[in-house]
């Protein structure tokens, strides 16, 4: 009897330890989000962001989605430019003091703000919800090389920064950061 009990206990433990099933929560439903997927993510050549908007007005829903996408893209670009600037200034020891570094970042922010208004919409989908409202999905993008060139041109127009600035080194750092997005 003991042998049967031990065998049964070992068998139950083996079954319990060996099976790890994912259990769906009752009522959960898979959701497919429009404008999402690999082709809408940032990569080595493009910075992209998704925004959603919800409203009883189609235009307001779309405007909210566009605003959210541009805000997200702005945050991504700002973070990218900060990393590039930090790497550029420290890697090449070009004599860029904190004041010049701050000014460089301010100028790049101005470029970014201008560029966000001219973003390219690469996906724009709208759904009508069961309650009669609208849900919009918008993906916007900026081409990385265009952004780097516009930053470079802006810096070249500043007398103090132009002295310390080396475009090829900046571009190299920019491309390194963009390649991490794959």
22-69 residue pLDDT tens? 556 788 888 888 998 899 999 988 999 999 999 999 999 999 999 999
pLDDT in tens, 6-17: 443 444 444 444
pLDDT of residue 143: 87
pLDDT of residue 5: 40
Residue 6: inside a domain: no
Task: Output the CA angle 126-130-135, nearest 5 degrees.
Answer: 25
In angstroms, rounded to a whole number, what is the distance separating the alpha carbons of residues 81 and 85? 6
pLDDT of residue 19: 46
Q: Is the pLDDT of residue 171 over 50?
A: yes
Residue 87: give the domain boundaries: 35-169
* Total count of domains within the chain: 1
* CA nearest to 162, candidates 103, 109, 113: 103
In angstroms, rounded to a whole number, what is the distance separating the alpha carbons of residues 16 and 142? 51
3-state DSSP call for residue 55? strand
Residue 106: inside a domain: yes
φ/ψ (deg, to 5) at 55: -165, 165
pLDDT in tens, 64-114: 999 999 999 988 888 887 787 777 666 655 555 666 666 666 777 777 777
């Amino acid at each position: 009897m003991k042998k049967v009990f031990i065998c049964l206990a070992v068998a139950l433990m083996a079954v319990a330890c060996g099976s790890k099933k994912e259990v769906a929560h009752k009522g959960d439903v898979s959701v497919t989000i429009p404008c999402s997927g690999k082709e809408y993510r940032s990569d080595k050549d493009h910075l992209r962001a998704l925004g959603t908007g919800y409203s009883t007005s189609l235009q307001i829903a779309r405007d909210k989605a566009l605003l959210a996408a541009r805000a997200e893209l702005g945050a991504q670009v700002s973070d990218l430019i900060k990393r590039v600037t930090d790497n550029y200034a420290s890697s090449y020891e070009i004599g860029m003091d904190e004041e010049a570094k701050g000014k460089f970042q301010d100028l790049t922010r101005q470029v970014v703000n201008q560029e966000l208004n001219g973003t390219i919409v690469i996906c724009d989908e709208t759904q009508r919800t069961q309650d009669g409202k609208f849900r919009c999905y918008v993906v916007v993008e900026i081409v990385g090389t265009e952004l780097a060139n516009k930053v470079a041109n802006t810096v070249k127009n500043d007398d103090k920064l132009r002295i310390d600035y080396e475009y090829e080194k900046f571009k190299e750092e920019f491309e390194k950061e963009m390649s991490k997005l794959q």
